[in-house]
Structure 1
Amino acid sequence: MATIKDVSKLAGVSVATVSRYLNKNGYVSKEAGETIAEVIEKLNYRPNNIARSLAGMKTATIGLMVPDILNPFFPELARAIEDAANDYGYTVMLCNTDNDSAKEQKYIDTLLHKQVDGIIISSYGIKPEHLSSLQKQSIPVILIDNVFSSDSVVSLTVENERGGELAVEHLLERGCSKIAHICGPLSITSSRERTAGFENASRGTDWFTPSLIGYSDFTVHGGYTAMLELLSIHPDLDGIFASNDLMAAGALKALQESGKNVPRDVKVIGFDGIGLEMMTPELSTIAQPISELGKTAMDSLMGLIRKESDILTDQVFPVTLIAKQSTMTN
């Protein structure tokens, strides 16, 4: 098995130069970098990450914590993060937490044991004490879709409240006169913000009442049961804004089983913009920039890992209305 000394000897450079090239830390001339790359490929050299970590160097590994890998939003996000990580020469350890706080702590302990260089957390059950334990270990962290105002951790979110307003405005423009909302768990920042957007756009109308808000858990089944309950209270509703696309899919199923035609009788819009092209009718949605979120998360984390960014600020990304068949006019 080739060693770093073999690479330096064949490339005609010092071991320190090869090390700087591998770690992307410090100056390496373009010519030397090209030569080292050729030698690495020729020798099929692979850095010993365990040895590197014991020597106080980077392991070129990060952790990614998500709450539910069955929700298509998170595989899309993970793919974007992995693509960006690959460009940096990093690998990603995926941790599916199932919204379980104890499981999240177990994953954090495992990632610390594996000596990852940083962690991206897009998990709803994460608690301030989890973040504190990481900060004590000097592990760089980026949060996605969650905010802890009391902690000095960078958060990447989207315009959730504005997205809720856009959804209601779109349904009103399409002729709806009584709109209900299927809300996600109120313990989740994004869910609360989307519901606030719904309330902002609905208050002042002659049809709004708090009973038009149903509560669910960001799953297809949750959307299905919440939709049936809303129909039992408001059989005359003609518009639905679901706080994510999976709940919207469940709502569509419940409406169809209840004899409601979508979009003729009830128009439905979701939130996230995940790939649900096979759904009939195709779902209108408020789309998040998932790829941009993932890439920015990885870029920001690398800035922290390399200590290139002393101060990073929270970022809020815009959302986009995508109108499809589920909100078509009659």
Structure 2
Amino acid sequence: MKKNVTIRDVARESGLSIATISRYLNGKGYLSEQSEKKIKDVMERLDYKPNEVARSLSKGKTNTIALIIPDITNPFFPELVVAIEGVARRRGYSLFLINTEEELLHSTGFWRSLESRFIDGLILGSFQFNGEVLKGMENMNLPFVRIDRGAEDDEDNSFGVNNSDGAKLAVAHLIEVGCQKIAHISGPSAYPSSLERVKGYREAMKKYLPLQEECIYEGDFSLESGQKLTKELMNNHGDCDGIFFGNDLMAIGALKTLKLMNIRVPQDIAIIGFDGIQLTQMVDPEISTIEQPIYELGKLATTHLIDMIEKKNEGSAYVKLDVHLRKRESTLGNIPRV
């Protein structure tokens, strides 16, 4: 078995002190050209690899950021991860991905465990920022940004989209294709983004269909809740001819339920989601959606966090990006109602 070469071996072979070798490795303090060359030659000859973790800890910086998300099975998050990891890598940082349930963030054990990872900053997506979560982050004393469902209006270091305007676009499009009774299957009311989408739905309904009583079912952004609540909705409101879903995954889940109920999309009912994930183009029919700039969202949040870590900004950004209506078969083939 090959013996691990240590800094002591380099010092002994070069005839220099451990402190001198350490100054060379950390780039601190003066060294003569002769000493630098001698150290470099010995390191190459002995095939010495510095312990990068130990060096990072000695500098108080590991060039690692953590991304905490609630559901890696939701295709929205892998698309977000691609953007965040790409920006981090180009800036010389590694990404530590944590997929965890909401409840775990409320325990002190979670935050103690995270402290042992020696990270430089946090990106938190899609969680409620109650007192316990905020206390855990404050105890770590690290820069952090909020993204997606975790973003809140007028909160520093929040990166989200204009959810209310997106909901209005969705309802207006359903009106455009002839829908006369439109329901909304929302995300959890604990998330600011869900509340903003509900708000947009209500305002659009008041504008376009003021006589219709609002029809809202609260889901949890999962495929299963899209299936379950669509069935419940159609059993209770068989005359519903348009559904705006709080995210794409619930809209995808609804397709199977509607097919099993012999309700045709878009001939009998038009559906539209929210997010713009690629999977909406891989189902039949393809699903209309309110498209978030997912890559841009991840890029801006990661760039801002790393600038905070490197003290290149004051950490006070608030970003709300525009969304876009992407019309597809789940609405475009709809037959206008008489």
Q: Identify whether the pair has TM-score above 0.5, normalized to the shorter chain.
A: yes
Distance 1:95 1:320 in 2: 30
What's the counterpart of residue 288 of structure 1?
Answer: 292
Deviations 1:165-204 (A, max 9, x none): 0000011111111111101110011111111111010015
Distance 1:240 1:79 in 2: 30
Deviations 1:220-246 (A, max 9, x none): 110111111111221011111000001
Counterpart check, 1:312 vs 2:316: yes
Distance 1:20 1:281 in 2: 60
Aligned-residue offset at 1:16: 7.1
Deviations 1:247-295 (A, max 9, x none): 1112222211111110111010000011112211001100111111111
Aligned-residue offset at 1:51: 3.3
SS of 1:230 mapped into structure 2: helix
Using the size of structure 2 for normalisation, the TM-score is: 0.81
What's the counterpart of residue 304 of structure 2?
Answer: 300
RMSD value, Cα: 2.8
Q: Letter of the aligned partner of 1:309 in structure 2?
A: N
**Aligned partner of 2:56 among 52, 57, 67:** 52
Aligned-residue offset at 1:312: 2.3
Which is worse superposed, 304-313 or 59-68?
Answer: 304-313
Tell me if the contact between 1:241 and 1:270 (Cα under 8 Å) persists in the aligned partners: yes
Deviations 1:10-39 (A, max 9, x none): xxxx98797579xxxxxxxxxxxxxx9xx9
Q: How does 1:9-48 map to 2 (within 5 A)?
A: 19=26, 48=52
Deviations 1:46-92 (A, max 9, x none): 66123321x24311111110011110001111111111111111111
Change over 3 Å in CA distance of 1:161–1:149 after alignment to 2: closer
Tell me if the contact between 1:180 and 1:240 (Cα under 8 Å) persists in the aligned partners: yes
Gaps of 5+ in 2: 15-20, 29-39
Distance 1:20 1:284 in 2: 55
Counterpart check, 1:226 vs 2:229: yes
**Aligned partner of 1:236 among 215, 236, 239:** 239
Counterpart check, 1:140 vs 2:137: no
What's the counterpart of residue 179 of structure 2?
Answer: 176
Q: How does 1:127-276 map to 2 (within 5 A)?
A: 127-145=130-148, 146-147=150-151, 153-204=156-207, 205-210=209-214, 212-276=215-279
Q: Letter of the aligned partner of 2:330 in structure 1?
A: S
Tell me if the contact between 2:186 and 2:217 (Cα under 8 Å) persists in the aligned partners: yes
**Aligned partner of 1:72 among 75, 81, 105:** 75
Gaps of 5+ in 1: 22-35
Tell me if the contact between 1:239 and 1:266 (Cα under 8 Å) persists in the aligned partners: yes
Change over 3 Å in CA distance of 1:133–1:155 after alignment to 2: same
Counterpart check, 1:85 vs 2:93: no
Q: How does 1:110-125 map to 2 (within 5 A)?
A: 110-125=113-128
Larger Rg: 2
Aligned-residue offset at 1:110: 2.1
Change over 3 Å in CA distance of 1:320–1:18 after alignment to 2: farther
Change over 3 Å in CA distance of 1:45–1:214 after alignment to 2: same
Distance 2:231 2:6 in 1: 64
Using the size of structure 1 for normalisation, the TM-score is: 0.83
Tell me if the contact between 1:104 and 1:125 (Cα under 8 Å) persists in the aligned partners: no
Aligned-residue offset at 1:156: 0.6
Change over 3 Å in CA distance of 1:207–1:219 after alignment to 2: farther
Q: Letter of the aligned partner of 1:162 in structure 2?
A: D
Tell me if the contact between 1:182 and 1:241 (Cα under 8 Å) persists in the aligned partners: yes
SS of 1:203 mapped into structure 2: helix
SS of 1:315 mapped into structure 2: strand
Distance 2:177 2:112 in 1: 50
Distance 1:278 1:51 in 2: 47
Aligned-residue offset at 1:2: 8.6
Distance 1:292 1:172 in 2: 30
Tell me if the contact between 1:97 and 1:103 (Cα under 8 Å) persists in the aligned partners: no
